[in-house]
């Protein structure tokens, strides 16, 4: 089943909701979920930062790497990678507002760092790059939004050099038919649908030519993320930063959908 939402719906959503997310999710502008460990405890932003560290360690990105971040948002992760590895990174995002914020943030960095970063508005389904341009394709919390996920996998494969690494996290749909509640409060709210379960995703990656090196089901971390985000949206409402009561309810539904097996989250590391 394919999403009935368009890329234009998603672009409009992220262009207009940008400021709101900063009020309760991460004031620095990052919008992805967290991987909780003993070290992060229940701190959502520490868990969100830990996901970056985990993925960077698994990616093998080093000083000779040419990295593409698909759905880079405000550029937070790409900038963090460039600060931690002397590689070159290009970030693309469908939202012109977010790609513009990323470019502005990069321009304020020291010249050596900013010279290794590039951001532009583009869609994951039509990447404006030559075949084999990158040693690494990276993506966080993005592909679920794209109605044509097969096109994203085709494009990721095309722009990767032979032997390159595709590392990404994405939402999964553990069963084909989800409850009405999950449809309304999870899939429709996120402008999202997917044909991929945790294992179905791997089958599709293989069909696209990738070797799946590692796959980890992160659903329990997604549930903890939404429990924490519910608290954060509630706190922001109580502090008068905005009315996030709708999101408090939505995030309760997100956590419930994961418990009911209507929603999942996974990390994949693949080789071309």
At 186, is the secondary structure helix, strand, or coil? helix
CA atoms of 46 and 62, how far apart (whole Å): 23
Residue 272 as a binder of ligand SAM (CB under 6 A): the answer is no
**With contact defined as beta carbons under 8 Å apart, do 85 and 64 qualify?**
no
Residue 248 CB, nearest distance to ligand SAM (Å)?
18
Q: Could you say which of 88, 116, 136, 145 contacts ligand SAM (CB under 6 A)? A: 145
CB 96 within 8 A of CB 72: no
Using CB under 6 A as the binding rule, whether residue 20 contacts ligand SAM is answered as no
Query: Judged by CB under 6 A, which stretch of 70-78, 110-118, 235-243, 254-262 contacts ligand SAM?
Result: 70-78
How far is the C-alpha of 6 from the C-alpha of 33, rounded, in Å?
23
CB of 177 to ligand SAM, least distance (A): 25
225 is a contact residue toward ligand SAM (CB under 6 A): no
Where are the extended beta strands (E) located within the chain?
A: 66-70, 88-93, 117-121, 134-139, 160-172, 211-217, 264-271
The verdict on 14 binding ligand SAM (CB under 6 A) reads yes
The residue of the chain with the least Cβ separation from ligand SAM equals: 73
The answer to whether 98 contacts ligand SAM (rule: CB under 6 A) is yes
Alpha-carbon distance of 251 to 257, in angstroms, equals 10
Q: Does 167 interact with ligand SAM (rule: CB under 6 A)?
A: no
**Residues found near ligand SAM in the complex (CB under 6 A):** 7, 10, 14, 30-32, 71-73, 76-77, 92-95, 98, 123-125, 140-142, 145-146
């Amino acid at each position: 089943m394919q999403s009935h939402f368009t890329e234009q719906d998603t672009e409009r959503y992220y262009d207009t909701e940008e400021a709101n997310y900063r009020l309760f999710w991460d004031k620095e502008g990052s919008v992805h979920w967290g991987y909780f460990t003993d070290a992060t405890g229940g701190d959502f932003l520490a868990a969100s930062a830990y996901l970056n560290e985990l993925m960077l360690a698994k990616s093998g990105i080093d000083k000779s790497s040419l990295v593409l971040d698909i759905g880079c948002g405000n550029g937070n992760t790409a900038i963090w990678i460039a600060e931690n590895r002397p590689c070159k990174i290009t970030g693309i995002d469908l939202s012109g507002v977010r790609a513009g914020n990323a470019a502005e943030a990069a321009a304020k960095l020291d010249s050596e760092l900013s010279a290794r970063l590039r951001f532009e508005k583009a869609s994951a389904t039509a990447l404006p790059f030559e075949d084999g341009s990158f040693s690494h394709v990276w993506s966080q919390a993005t592909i679920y939004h794209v109605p044509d996920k097969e096109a994203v996998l085709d494009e990721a494969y095309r722009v990767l050099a032979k032997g390159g690494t595709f590392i990404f996290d994405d939402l999964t749909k553990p069963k084909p038919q989800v409850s009405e509640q999950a449809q309304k409060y999870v899939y429709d709210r996120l402008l999202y649908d997917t044909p991929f379960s945790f294992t179905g995703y791997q089958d599709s990656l293989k069909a696209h030519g990738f070797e799946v090196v590692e796959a980890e089901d992160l659903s329990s971390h997604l549930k903890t993320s939404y429990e924490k985000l519910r608290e954060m949206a509630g706190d922001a409402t109580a502090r008068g930063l905005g009315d996030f009561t709708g999101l408090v309810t939505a995030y309760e539904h997100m956590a419930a959908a994961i418990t009911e097996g209507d929603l999942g989250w996974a990390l994949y590391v693949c080789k071309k």
